[in-house]
């Protein structure tokens, strides 16, 4: 117990930092409202469809609303990689509010259910773009892997609260004002979520300033996932979880109404139990997951999505069902932080929204497949047999993937060290998380023998260096002007001023010099693309030239 106290303090400080940031706070509240509404929509739609045609109708309607959303999301995501992402979020909120408000009106007027289903499909298509845009926005609002993980932990907590409050609100509204009132409340939540992020203040990445919207790049996100084994691993396991989630959207209705006999409000109660577990899982994630090993925790989360369902099939007691669904909720919280933090650290910022949209599309197809398959499995094996069989799929996938998850975590620990090194450099410190992550991925490591030159005065500059280990001597002629240690950089002036080196740099004679270097294109795109880093770079140039004992004449740089 005592060993966890430092983790508790660290997690608490990370949480406070996230909440105190005005931009992060608004972005996170927007997400929480949107997702509470989504869970309420899922419960309300499940009840409406069950009234209309039983378990088969629930599965069919769930699949029909998910498949179009999954297929169209990658094309819609080209917008989120071309314009400011908070504008995408605001647009999603408004369009979704209109669609759900119209669905509420149709139900209130006893209109055709086909129209209600069509409007909810439209709302789902728009909703599918929200999380990719939000996931791509968060790295632009953060400045370190720890802050990004913290932001995803906080978002996971809000998601968990939404998983609890959305179904509970739906249960209350279904009893008080019916499905029409529930859809109307979801419309209001979507509108408020969109308004919260209007004119969100932050410095957008340089490539988004005036970038054209290119539909031909819609599948770039899917291609990026297919080309990266790490992304394929994350996507495959998370799809196993969403397949189980789709199955549960059918199973929860059948369990509540037929197996337990708790009626329609019982559907909301069972989903709320999942939400209560998700809140607990988010608290546990703040304590444990924030310190790394995100891939392994992802595997644990996927396992927890499945094993409790098998337990429900084995012992369908009402109290035990609630406890086991709470365990599923814990798994949900663990999956979310890994599934949305790791891709944000692995993907190029220029295609990040499209990658997340492709990721979301695949996951949504997983939900649709699970919802479509569940009625057939129920028909074949009965509700209890279906719970056992469908519940064991995710754990089996995790067992097969466990060694790969361990390797991924080891690689990310190395990346964390590179980022910490870069953040010791004043020019890199102000950069958003997505940018510094890309710089860390582009680092090249080398060792120079003691007394050996890294470059000579008058050489052409093609990269910048950061001292990783040992000492570097900056020399003019035979005179040593400065000695640099770990976390100090050199070679930046030649790149920022587009000139030759104005000094030589050698490894100190006593020991080898460990270096991490960046090519000029990566360095310049990052440092000159953001106001704070560009200003820091100019200050470094002025200081270094002063140390060299010269003003910065045109055509000269180190």
Number of other CB atoms surrounding residue 297 within 10 Å: 22
CATH fit for domain 443-547, picks 2.160.10.10, 2.60.120.10, 2.40.110.10, 2.40.10.340:
2.60.120.10
> In terms of pTM, does the model score above 0.85?
no
Q: Cα 296 to the chain's mean position, in Å?
A: 16
Q: Which part of the chain has CATH 1.20.1250.20? A: 11-199+219-418
Paired with 479 in beta bridges are 476
3-state SS assignment for residue 498? coil
| Cβ atoms of 323 and 277 closer than 8 Å | no
For the record, the structure tokens of 470 come out as: 């040992």
For residue 297 the two structure tokens come to 């925790």
Q: Residue 415 has what pLDDT?
A: 87
Report phi then psi at 469, rounded to 5. Answer: -160, 145
- What confidence score (pLDDT) does residue 286 get? 67
- Fold designation for 11-199+219-418: Growth Hormone; Chain: A; (1.20.1250)
pLDDT at 218: 58
Distance, in Å, from the CA atom of 233 to the CA atom of 347, rounded to the nearest integer, reads: 14
HEC string of 154-205 equals HHHHHHHHHHHHHHHHHHHHHHHCHHHHHHHHHHHHHHHHHHHCCCCCCCCC
3-state helix, strand, coil in the chain (%, to 5): 75, 5, 20
The CA distance from 264 to 351, in Å, is 43
Q: Residue 376 phi/psi, 5° resolution?
A: -70, -40
Would you say 516 and 489 are in contact if contact means Cβ atoms under 8 Å apart?
no
- pLDDT at 256 (0 to 100): 78
Half-sphere exposure of 93 (CA within 13 A, CB side): 28
> CB count, 10 Å around CB of 377?
19
Instruction: Report pLDDT for 176.
Output: 84
Give the angle 435-437-441 at the CA atoms, nearest 5°.
120
Give the pairing of strands 453-455 and 463-469.
Answer: unpaired
Find out whether 80 and 206 touch, Cβ atoms under 8 Å. Answer: no
Contacts of 106 (CB under 8 A, 6+ apart): 112, 115, 116, 119
Any bridge partners for residue 296, and if so which? Answer: none
Residues of the chain with CATH 2.60.120.10: 443-547
**pLDDT per position in the chain (558 positions), as tens?**
333 333 444 455 556 666 777 888 889 899 999 989 988 888 888 888 888 787 777 777 777 777 776 777 676 666 666 677 888 889 999 999 999 999 999 988 888 888 888 898 888 888 877 888 888 888 878 777 777 777 877 887 787 788 778 888 888 888 888 888 889 999 999 999 999 988 887 776 665 444 444 445 557 777 888 888 999 999 999 999 999 988 888 888 888 777 776 766 677 777 777 777 777 777 777 666 655 688 998 999 999 988 998 888 888 777 888 888 888 888 887 888 888 888 888 887 777 777 887 888 888 888 888 988 888 898 899 888 888 999 999 999 999 999 999 999 888 888 888 988 998 888 888 888 778 888 888 899 999 998 899 988 888 888 899 999 999 988 887 788 888 899 988 888 888 888 888 788 999 887 899 999 999 888 888 887 777 777 777 777 777 766 666 544 433 334
């Amino acid at each position: 117990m005592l060993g966890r106290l430092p983790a508790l303090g660290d997690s608490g400080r990370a949480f406070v930092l996230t909440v105190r940031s005005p931009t992060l706070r608004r972005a996170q509240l927007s997400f929480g409202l949107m997702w509470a509404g989504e869970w309420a929509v899922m419960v309300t739609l499940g009840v409406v469809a069950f009234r209309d045609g039983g378990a088969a109708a629930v599965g069919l309607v769930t699949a029909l609303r998910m498949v179009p959303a999954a297929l169209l999301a990658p094309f819609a995501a080209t917008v989120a990689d071309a314009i400011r992402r908070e504008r995408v979020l605001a647009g999603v909120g408004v369009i979704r509010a209109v669609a759900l408000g119209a669905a509420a009106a149709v139900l209130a007027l006893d209109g055709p259910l086909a129209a209600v289903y069509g409007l909810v499909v439209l709302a789902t298509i728009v909703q599918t773009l929200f999380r990719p845009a939000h996931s791509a926005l968060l790295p632009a609002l953060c400045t370190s892997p720890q802050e990004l993980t913290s932001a995803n932990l906080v978002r996971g907590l809000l998601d968990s609260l939404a998983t609890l409050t959305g179904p509970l609100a739906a249960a209350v509204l279904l009893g008080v004002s019916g499905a029409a009132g529930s859809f109307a409340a979801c419309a209001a939540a979507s509108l408020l979520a969109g308004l919260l992020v209007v004119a969100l203040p932050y410095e957008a990445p340089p490539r988004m300033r005036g970038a054209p919207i290119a539909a031909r790049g819609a599948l770039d996100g899917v291609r990026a996932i297919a080309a990266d084994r790490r992304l394929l691993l994350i996507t495959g396991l998370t799809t196993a979880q969403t397949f189980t989630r789709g199955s549960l959207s059918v199973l929860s209705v059948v369990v509540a109404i037929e197996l337990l006999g708790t009626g329609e409000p019982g559907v909301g109660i069972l989903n709320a139990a999942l939400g209560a577990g998700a809140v607990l899982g988010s608290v546990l994630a703040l304590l444990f997951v924030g310190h790394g090993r995100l891939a392994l925790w992802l595997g644990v989360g996927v396992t927890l999505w499945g094993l409790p369902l098998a337990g429900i099939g084995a012992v369908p007691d009402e109290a035990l069902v609630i406890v086991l669904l709470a365990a599923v909720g814990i798994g949900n919280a663990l999956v979310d932080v890994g599934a949305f933090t790791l891709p944000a650290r692995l993907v190029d910022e220029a295609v990040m929204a499209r990658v997340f949209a492709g990721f979301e599309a695949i996951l949504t197809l997983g939900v649709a497949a699970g919802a479509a398959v569940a009625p057939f499995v129920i028909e074949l094996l009965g509700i209890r047999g279906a719970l056992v069989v469908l519940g064991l799929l995710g754990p089996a996938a995790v067992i097969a993937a466990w060694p790969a998850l361990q390797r991924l975590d080891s690689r990310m620990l190395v990346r964390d060290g590179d980022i910490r090194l870069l953040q010791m450099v004043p020019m890199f410190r102000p950069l958003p998380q997505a940018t510094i992550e890309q710089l860390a991925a582009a680092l090249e490591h080398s060792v120079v023998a003691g007394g050996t030159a890294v470059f000579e005065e008058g050489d052409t500059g093609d990269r910048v260096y950061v001292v990783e280990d040992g000492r570097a001597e900056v020399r003019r002629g035979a005179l040593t002007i400065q000695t640099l240690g770990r976390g100090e950089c050199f070679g930046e002036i030649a790149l920022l001023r587009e000139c030759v080196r104005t000094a030589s740099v050698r490894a100190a004679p006593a020991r080898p010099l460990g270096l991490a270097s960046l090519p000029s294109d990566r360095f310049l795109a990052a440092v000159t693309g953001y106001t704070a880093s560009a200003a820091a770079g100019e200050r470094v140039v002025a200081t270094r030239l002063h140390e060299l004992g010269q003003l910065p004449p045109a055509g000269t740089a180190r």
